[in-house]
Amino acid sequence: MKKLILIALAAAGAVLAKKQLDKSNAERAQWAEATDTVSPTHQA
């Protein structure tokens, strides 16, 4: 019974870690897009 509880807790922890990682990656991508340097497309 204890092993089952430990497995369930480990699985829940893995799910939470995955969600946090996905959130972090999405936020990082937004910052990268927002702070991306703009190269001039035409000569003045």
pLDDT digits over 4-39, tens only? Answer: 999 999 999 999 999 999 999 999 988 888 888 776
Assigned token pair, 23 = 């959130």
The structure tokens listed for 7 are: 């497995």
What was the pLDDT predicted at 40? 62
Tokens of 2: 């204890």
Q: How far apart are the first and last CA of the chain?
A: 73
Encoded amino acid at 39, one letter: S
What pLDDT was estimated at residue 25?
Answer: 92
> CA-CA distance, 33 to 27, in Å (whole number)?
10
